[in-house]
């Protein structure tokens, strides 16, 4: 099977707690992968160690064969991993468009080098003119993709909750990732918002972006994931298609329970 991202024996300890324990996790390209498990199973910690927001105690991570285990978050973002967070992290007093532009800005690293010398400054200025156009076009492309265009000039704080979550996704997509990690994207959404989100995530996958999501909404997970990995107490206990996971006794025992429909 093709591999986009892979962890080998990934481990993260916090004192006596082994939050992620020797996890081998493999993400195939162009699919939607789900990461599920009980509260405290280590899902977010696994995301954090992969994306460089936390450091693994041992083990390794590769992205397209490149070792990114010790790389800082900004480098990993540049190499093509975008993410959203469990708790909404928007600039609430800024507009929807500005929030997406911030995501996009990180992509154009020379934007920060507006220089000390005159010639360099002029060159940078011309570059910025060009970049501004590109920045705006990219931001609008993702706003339209997520049906947020009509809210572009509204303050982020005035968006309905479900739209705020989608704005976070737009901001992550504006970095043009090849791999997108979503941490509980449906948390707090009503059923209509969740249904729209499912459609959005499928459309993201269809653009060629690989998606990995953490989610407790089993209806969403079972509906849209091509593969599922299950963590329990930091360990991977199962991996497979939704059909396989649904019938896995250990997963039913640890997480799904007997009432799962």
Ligand X SMILES: Nc1ncnc2c1ncn2[C@@H]1O[C@H](COP(=O)(O)OP(=O)(O)OP(=O)(O)O)[C@@H](O)[C@H]1O
Q: Residues interacting with ligand X, by CB under 6 A?
A: 14, 17, 19, 37, 39-45
- Identify the three-state secondary structure at position 257: coil
Closest CA to 159 of 171, 170, 167: 167
Query: What is the closest distance, in whole angstroms, from the C-beta atom of residue 41 to ligand X in the complex?
Result: 4
Query: What is the closest distance, in whole angstroms, from the C-beta atom of residue 237 to ligand X in the complex?
Result: 13
C-beta neighbour count of 248 within 10 angstroms: 19
Length of the chain: 261
Query: What is the closest distance, in whole angstroms, from the C-beta atom of residue 37 to ligand X in the complex?
Result: 6
Nearer to ligand X, 85 or 145 (CB): 85
Nearer to ligand X, 14 or 114 (CB): 14
- 256, 245, 59, 179: CA torsion to nearest 10: -100
Query: What is the closest distance, in whole angstroms, from the C-beta atom of residue 18 to ligand X in the complex?
Result: 8
Nearer to ligand X, 150 or 253 (CB): 253
Query: What is the closest distance, in whole angstroms, from the C-beta atom of residue 108 to ligand X in the complex?
Result: 32
Backbone angles phi, psi at 186, to 5 degrees: -95, 0
How far apart CA 221 and CA 213 sit, in angstroms, is 8
Nearer to ligand X, 21 or 194 (CB): 21
CA distances from 31 to 112, 174, 204, 206, 211 (A): 35, 19, 10, 9, 6
């Amino acid at each position: 099977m093709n591999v986009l991202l892979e962890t080998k024996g990934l481990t993260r300890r916090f004192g006596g707690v082994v939050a992620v324990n020797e996890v081998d996790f493999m993400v195939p390209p162009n699919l939607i992968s789900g990461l599920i498990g009980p509260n405290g199973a280590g899902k977010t910690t696994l995301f954090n160690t992969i994306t460089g927001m936390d450091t693994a105690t041992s083990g390794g991570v590769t992205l397209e064969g490149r070792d990114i285990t010790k790389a800082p978050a900004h480098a990993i973002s540049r190499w093509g991993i975008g993410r959203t967070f469990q708790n909404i992290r928007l600039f609430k007093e800024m507009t929807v468009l500005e929030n997406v532009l911030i995501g996009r800005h990180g992509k154009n690293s020379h934007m920060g080098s507006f220089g000390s010398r005159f010639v360099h400054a002029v060159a940078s200025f011309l570059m910025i003119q060009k970049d501004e156009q590109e920045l705006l076009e990219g931001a609008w492309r993702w706003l339209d993709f997520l049906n947020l265009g009509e809210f572009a000039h509204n303050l982020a704080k005035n968006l309905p909750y479900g739209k705020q979550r989608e704005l976070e996704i737009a901001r992550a997509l504006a970095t043009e990732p090849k791999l997108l990690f979503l941490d509980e994207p449906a948390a707090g959404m009503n059923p209509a918002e969740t249904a729209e989100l499912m459609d959005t995530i499928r459309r993201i996958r269809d653009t060629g972006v690989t998606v990995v999501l953490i989610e407790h909404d089993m209806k969403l997970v079972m509906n849209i994931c091509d593969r599922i990995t299950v963590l329990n107490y930091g360990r991977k206990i199962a991996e497979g298609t939704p059909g396989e996971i649904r019938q896995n006794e250990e997963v039913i025992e640890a997480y799904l329970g007997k009432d799962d429909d």
